[in-house]
Structure 1
Amino acid sequence: MSDALEPLVRNLQVPPDYEHYANITDASVLVRLDEWKRTADRVLLEIHGILQQQASELSLADQANIISAAAAFDGQDPWITPASRRVAEDILESFSNPQPTLLGQILTQNVKPLFQLNPHPSLNAAGRKLPRPAGGPMASQDFYDTQTWKTSPGVVNLVSWCVRHIPCDAYEALWHLIIPPVMALLDDYEARYKLRGVEIVSQMLEHVPGPLLKRTGVEGLIRSSLNTCLTFLNNPETPDLIKAAVAASLSLTLLTTGVGSAERFDQLCALLGEGIISCIWLYASDRPDVILASLEALPPVLRALQIGNARFLKALITQFVHLLRSNPLNPWPAEIQIISLRLLSILIEECAPCIPRWKITILDGVARCWVTVMDSGRDTPDYGVLCAELRHTCELLAKYCPSVMELEYKKLLAHDPEMFGALLNGLSKP
């Protein structure tokens, strides 16, 4: 490293105290960290100046060290100020199309040393899945004992930067360097690191070749780890973790399975049935924020399953209708009811042949919700959206189950035309 760069890069190493920043109560430590942040702003500017003046003279190692230092400030972490983020983005813009040799230098010299002391028990040196975890039954516990990488908090942002910039055709050569840190994050016992791991996996799935995932066996490891994420139900990160893990699982399935294949159907069914219905809805039914996150993650899953949702109609419709019904002591937020109606609409469209047997159940939930909204919800911010979604659900029922027009809708209008007129009047026959 050049003499001018070495002390600057060293000064940008994120202090280990930031790993547990949220729990620091010692005022002197907080003062010291704030002073370091102010110094980091100045040091980044100096590095940016050197880069502008000497870019063509920098060695591969110098470039790797500059990227490693700047990438630590490419995120939303407590050591990052608006000023440091802007300068870091300017520095990294100079390396927006890194060559595989530069990425290999970063991963070998700046990332690997931090993770190699606690290798993932299910991976070999080539980044392939082992037939059985190395180290025996206690391998997983040993994996958490010496987490050297957590003493360098900025390395997570660096791994993310590398993953975002690896070209599709370079993954094969860099696989043994990138997959160990990615799996270390994904399989960490702390939800905040698992969330970062899921986010990085999602970034990787945008470019990584599907055959490489399957050939190395890493597809199965990632799928298992993403399923585990859906069991972390009592953390502040849980809602974000659920949405990210479901989206990543879906992307993994679509990347590694064929359209219309039994393998794709089975994996989608496992995600919906075992991951969401049997896990999240069963064990987190008292947490509206978690339920909302699971609902928000569902639309692309239901669309991907298409008529295959028929296997789960009883559980899905029962859940969505339950969320529409009034609970005076602990009412469901309007945003949960709105997304439930949108999910019901997807089911009506995707499972049209099966809907007639569920029309009464769906209409009962919609009608009860409408009455509650009319009686008490006119002044709420979501009143208009909720009413529009309720009416849209009735329109879809009329389209895919025409008998409701002559039977159930007429009965509701005859029973209380003033109440249900705005909901049902004007709906045309298909």
Structure 2
Amino acid sequence: MMVGDKATSEATLLAHCKRIERIINESGDTIATAEALTTAGALAGLGNAVSACGEGQPFAATVRALATVAQQRRVAGGDAEVRKALAVAGGRDALFSPRLAALVLSSLDASTDPDFQSACIAVIHDVSEQCEPVSGHHSEGLDSASVANVFRTLCTYLVVPKVFSSDLQTLTDSNSWKRIHAFKVDAKHLIEIISGSLKRISETGLESETYVELLTRCAAFLGDADSKWTSEDGKKSATDLLLVLNQNGSKNSVAKYAKEILEINVKPHFQIAVSSKREVIRREERGSFGVKKTKKNRDLDHQQVFENQPWKYEVVECVAVFEWVCSQLKDSEIIPVQHLVIPTVLAMMDDYDPIYKSRGIRMFRDVVLKKLTAQDIRVSGLGNVFFETLRICLSHHSSPEVLREAYPAIIELVDTLELKGSRESVVKLSIIMEEGIIRGLRLAIGGKLEIIRTIVRTVPDLIDQLEACSIKYLEPVVVLISEVLELHEHDFETQLLCCHSLESVVATCWPRIHLYCCVILKACAAAWVHLDRASKAEEKDTRLINSKTTSSRGNLRSALQGLVSLLQKVCGDAMRDDADLLLSLDADVFGPLLAIAE
């Protein structure tokens, strides 16, 4: 096609686009618009014009014209010929669809209606799926810099919007929800456009910067565990893109580019937050030329630290990228990037938000403890730092989700770093027992059930690690857990946990348990009486029968009988007088409880 002919074709195409937009704007309703477009032959003329035109700005105008039709839903299927003509043009260029998407998106401003932008992307997505495969010589002729520029431009539109940093459960703004839904759909389409194009240019190598950017976008969507900004279909599309990247480049692209991904997309955003915190600490230590700081000023400083967290509010997908990349690395692959991983994990563990704190602790267990050896952690010199950070998490002020992650993590840390039974191990485990279990349970009784359950559930693991040294804490542990067992008469789950914990205490501390067998037996008897009353109430009124409750009650009954049986075997005659007393009070009620022990 000569230059003059091409210019004429482009002018004709633009004229057709404007004509379609004018017809739509002048028509009053769906039927009128469809009739007007059909009568005028506007779409047919547009299809012919596309076929005669080369790539460039006119194609972008065509997409916007089709999007106007699609977004207003006034023509169903009447634009098929135009889409087909665009697909033919795409068959001549492996980068046609990504280029077109980048061109269209760049031409839209920030005030563009999200629905219209989605309609534009949907049109290009449909066209990309209709494009015929490009022959090898077309792929080989592509400029790698041009390829990189197109894909990196599209990646900017796959960055998760800041609206996702808000609490979606309390979000009521309709425009925000419109953007949220549009992003999920658009992201899926854009990923598929990129993936489809990469399949057609497999012979062309991508620059490493482009690989890093594309892998980061995959990580952002695949790492969205709660599907906050990604649909299930979007995750499937991201998985397909990852497979294509692995085929085009390294078989394990994530491991190859992990350092670059973390240095570019994670480290800078966490560094700002850490630097702000350090500056506040320095100001507090240094003072301000001898001027005493007021509480208000100190509060403002700390508020500034909390607000200056770009990894949480500015780069919404930052944590998701970090978590996903680390999860993809094998044990040996973590070591080269541990200088990027450990500070980030510590920053998350030290955060004030329970959600991010618990995610940080989970990362500590899954990455630091499981993928690094004890020697690696010792060499880093951060073993005690992690211990003290987790120790703070055991405070009674912590939320249930933080405690659920912190207790197993700190016990596992001690088990990893210290030899079982050594002085260092006993000292650290004793701190956990005193500050976490005993103090925590004293303050938690009468409070949140999840906190009580988490603490009680931890006791067997801690007793197992302390072994004979746990006898030192026998009295407070037995008394507190027995109190919970006795008081929580309608909470079968908590009572069942108490039974299992007391069993571990009895089995480990058996040489001294006879001193406290009466405390345990009293709690078991009280719980048994409540079970008996509930069963009799159901016999009188069948409406009270609940299959789930009945099953839980049966499990608790078996657990109580097992605990009493173990207590009898360990204590022997020391328990006889208390057992006889219970039978003398009510043999019908307490007989089944003591039957296994008899």
TM-score (norm. length: structure 2): 0.63
* Cα contact 1:71–1:92 (8 A) shared by 2: no
Residue 268 of structure 2 corresponds to: 113
* Cα contact 1:230–1:280 (8 A) shared by 2: no
Provide closer, same or farther for how the CA distance between residues 284 and 115 of structure 1 changes in structure 2, counting only shifts above 3 A: farther
SS at match of 1:46: helix
Provide closer, same or farther for how the CA distance between residues 332 and 63 of structure 1 changes in structure 2, counting only shifts above 3 A: farther
SS at match of 2:274: coil
2:310 to 120, 130, 148: 148
Decide which moves more: 217-226 or 53-62: 53-62
**Aligned mates of 2:502, 2:415 — CA distance in 1:** 23
SS at match of 2:272: coil
Decide which moves more: 168-177 or 387-396: 168-177
**Aligned mates of 1:341, 1:265 — CA distance in 2:** 25
Residue 36 of structure 1 corresponds to: 183
1:103 to 251, 254, 258: 258
Which ranges in structure 2 are unaligned for 5 or more consecutive residues?
1-146, 287-297, 539-544
Which letter maps to 1:113?
P
Deviations 1:323-376 (A, max 9, x none): 12246xxx5511111101110001011111111111111111101110111111
Verify: 1:17 aligned to 2:167, yes or no: no
Provide closer, same or farther for how the CA distance between residues 199 and 90 of structure 1 changes in structure 2, counting only shifts above 3 A: farther
Alignment of structure 1 residues 185-204 onto 2, 5 Å? 185-204=348-367
Verify: 1:71 aligned to 2:219, yes or no: yes
- Identity among equivalent pairs (%): 23
- Deviation of 1:225 (Å): 1.8
Residue 597 of structure 2 corresponds to: 427
SS at match of 1:224: helix
**Aligned mates of 2:283, 2:380 — CA distance in 1:** 20
Provide closer, same or farther for how the CA distance between residues 184 and 411 of structure 1 changes in structure 2, counting only shifts above 3 A: same
Provide closer, same or farther for how the CA distance between residues 24 and 406 of structure 1 changes in structure 2, counting only shifts above 3 A: closer
1:408 to 569, 578, 582: 578
**Aligned mates of 1:198, 1:290 — CA distance in 2:** 17
**Aligned mates of 2:471, 2:431 — CA distance in 1:** 14
Which ranges in structure 1 are unaligned for 5 or more consecutive residues?
124-132
Provide closer, same or farther for how the CA distance between residues 54 and 200 of structure 1 changes in structure 2, counting only shifts above 3 A: farther
Residue 505 of structure 2 corresponds to: 347
Provide closer, same or farther for how the CA distance between residues 387 and 81 of structure 1 changes in structure 2, counting only shifts above 3 A: same
Residue 54 of structure 2 corresponds to: none
Alignment of structure 1 residues 75-90 onto 2, 5 Å? 75-90=225-240
**Aligned mates of 1:36, 1:285 — CA distance in 2:** 45
Provide closer, same or farther for how the CA distance between residues 295 and 91 of structure 1 changes in structure 2, counting only shifts above 3 A: farther
TM-score (norm. length: structure 1): 0.86
Provide closer, same or farther for how the CA distance between residues 145 and 394 of structure 1 changes in structure 2, counting only shifts above 3 A: same
SS at match of 1:13: coil
Verify: 1:180 aligned to 2:343, yes or no: yes
Deviations 1:84-108 (A, max 9, x none): 2333445557769556542111111
Bigger radius of gyration: 2
**Aligned mates of 1:121, 1:221 — CA distance in 2:** 20
* Cα contact 1:48–1:91 (8 A) shared by 2: yes
* Cα contact 1:284–1:290 (8 A) shared by 2: no
**Aligned mates of 2:475, 2:202 — CA distance in 1:** 63
- Deviation of 1:160 (Å): 1.1
**Aligned mates of 2:554, 2:492 — CA distance in 1:** 11
**Aligned mates of 1:319, 1:276 — CA distance in 2:** 10
Verify: 1:223 aligned to 2:373, yes or no: no
Provide closer, same or farther for how the CA distance between residues 294 and 420 of structure 1 changes in structure 2, counting only shifts above 3 A: same
Query: Which one has more relative contact order, counting CA pairs under 8 Å at least 6 apart?
Result: 1
- Deviation of 1:283 (Å): 5.3
- Deviation of 1:383 (Å): 0.8
* Cα contact 2:560–2:593 (8 A) shared by 1: yes
- Deviation of 1:389 (Å): 0.6
